[in-house]
Amino acid sequence: MRICLVYDCLFPHTVGGAERWYRNLAERLTADGHEVTYLTLRQWNRGVSPGVDGVDVRVVGPRMALYAGEGRRRILPPLVFGAGVLWHLLRHGRRYDVVHTASFPYFSLLAAAVTRPLHRFRLVVDWHEVWSRSYWEEYLGRAGGTVGALVQRLCARVPQQAFCFSRLHAGRLRDEGLRSEPTILTGEYAGSLEQPVPVPAQPVVAFAGRHIPEKRVPALVRAFARARREAPELRLTVLGDGPERPQVLAAIAQEGLEEIAVAPGFVSSEEVEETLAGALCMVLPSSREGYGMVVVEASARGVPSVVVREPDNAAVELVDDGENGVVADSVEPEQLAAAILRVHAAGPELRDSTAAWFGRNARRLSLDGSLDTVAAAYRTLR
């Protein structure tokens, strides 16, 4: 089949869960004998190959900063990308059997929807997240949030084959007016599916990810300081970088943790893996997650996770409380500290339980399982 993938980012030129998903999808479809075109914005210097063997990468917009200083998406790049996708599909849409796009940024989805009747390709949409009205208003303000929510609802009602990555967002998509039943893809993990043998835990509480407001990393620092009052042997490792890094470093200083906590910024994947494998637990205090890949990565090493129950946090679907981690009821220091201390008190038994949990769920969590589901959907679309 002739398949057009549409996303404004391309791994490894930008790094994130969706970027990895579309890179893996492109490579899998190519290996299966499909003819794959990938529409994106430029993230590399002119004259440099984007580096995806067998995939026709088409740049439909210039190199642009996607995020504002506070770590939120800028409005102009999605508009430019949407216009570029519209122009490409108007000219070349007839060559594709399937156009497979991310829901966000929405203008590229709308471009595909507008050109679909003209060229009669089938439309497949990945919904990594469906935002609530309250979150839209928090993100863009009342007026902007109202417009964003309306655009999201319009996109949900476009005829499509929809994929979601959590029960939370599948339910929201139905509520937005999707005309068909979404398919839930439960796996994005590309590592070994063997049940792990956990290494002995170091007294390290670990975080790995971007330092953006939704991740609430400064809240982790404050909770760690409180947990350490009862378990003074604990140490904190905060990996990653982002616009809230100054607040993270300030929180470490304010809590007097300079000798106990390390925040080296972005590090190699090998160092991330080594830190994660030896940690007592991985803490993801996010208010919003579309999936929560780092929870799976931790479980694949027998390392329990601590997540926070929030209306927009799909990562809680990946933690069975007391089995492969702990779900905190709040990000408040007392609540989050109590969750960390529960993991500390559980000892090696929780690591063994986490390893067993991963062994039972590995196939469900695997990238190959989700890619098989997508490939099967393509066959029905044919």
Radius of gyration of the chain (CA): 21
pLDDT at 101: 97
Element of type H or E holding 361: helix 348-365
User: Cβ of 181: how many Cβ atoms within 10 Å?
Assistant: 11
Q: How far apart are the first and last CA of the chain?
A: 8
Q: How far is CA 183 from the centre of its chain?
A: 18
pLDDT over threshold 80, residue 133 = yes
How many alpha carbons fall within 13 Å on the CB side of residue 340?
Answer: 36
Q: What is the pLDDT of residues 314-334, one digit of tens each?
A: 999 999 999 999 999 999 999
pLDDT of residue 49: 82
Residue 114 has what pLDDT? 96
Domain ranges, ordered by start, for the chain: 2-189+366-381, 204-365
Stretch 245-260: mean pLDDT, rounded?
Answer: 97
* Residue that wins the pLDDT comparison between 259 and 51: 259
Instruction: Express each pLDDT in 336-363 by its tens digit.
Output: 999 999 999 999 999 999 999 999 999 9
3.20.180.10, 3.40.50.2000, 2.130.10.10, 2.30.36.70: CATH of 2-189+366-381: 3.40.50.2000
What pLDDT does residue 16 have?
80
Please compute the mean of the pLDDT values over residues 236-263 and round it to a whole number.
96
What DSSP state is assigned to residue 209? Answer: S
Q: Which of 9-13, 45-49, 154-158 has the lowest mean pLDDT?
A: 45-49
Report in angstroms the alpha-carbon separations of 139 from 13, 183, 308: 26, 27, 20
Burial class (CB in 10 A: 0-12, 13-18, 19+), 258: exposed
The reported pLDDT for the residue numbered 376 is 86
Which two three-digit tokens encode residue 336? 């989050």
Q: How confident is the model at residue 70 (pLDDT cuts 50, 70, 90)?
A: low
Among the four given CATH numbers 2.40.30.160, 3.30.479.10, 3.40.120.10, 3.40.50.2000, the one describing domain 204-365: 3.40.50.2000
With a cut of 90, say whether residue 291 has pLDDT above it.
yes
3-state secondary structure of 176: coil
SS3 256: coil
Largest CA distance in the chain: 66
User: What is the average pLDDT across 142-153?
Assistant: 94
pLDDT band at 238; cut points 50, 70, 90: very high
For residues 348, 351, 352, 357, the Cα torsion angle rounded to the nearest 10 degrees is 160
Q: Region 110-121: what's the mean pLDDT?
A: 95
What is the pLDDT, as a whole number, of residue 378? 84
**In CATH terms, are 2-189+366-381 and 204-365 the same topology?**
yes
Q: d(Cα 146, Cα 168) in Å, to the nearest integer?
A: 21
| Residues 364 and 166 sit within 8 Å (Cβ to Cβ) | no
Q: Is the pLDDT of residue 73 over 90?
A: no
Q: Which residues pair with 3 in a beta bridge?
A: 36, 98
In this prediction, what percent of the chain has a pLDDT beyond 70? 99
Can you tell me the distance from the alpha carbon of 139 to that of 21, in angstroms, rounded to the nearest whole number? 25
DSSP 50-107: ---TT-EEEEEE-----B-TTS-B-SHHHHHHHHHHHHHHHHHGGG-SEEEEESSSHH
pLDDT of the residue at 382: 62
pLDDT, position 380: 80
Average pLDDT for 116-127: 95
Average pLDDT over residues 160-181: 96
Q: Which of 116, 101, 123, 83 lies closest to 26, judged by CA? A: 101
Mean pLDDT of the chain: 94
Confidence at residue 201, expressed as pLDDT on a 0 to 100 scale: 97
- Looking at residue 48, what is its pLDDT? 82
Q: Which of 54-68, 110-124, 241-255 has the lowest mean pLDDT?
A: 54-68
- pLDDT for residue 170 is more than 90: yes
The predicted structure's pLDDT at residue 343? 98
Tokens matching residue 86: 């519209």
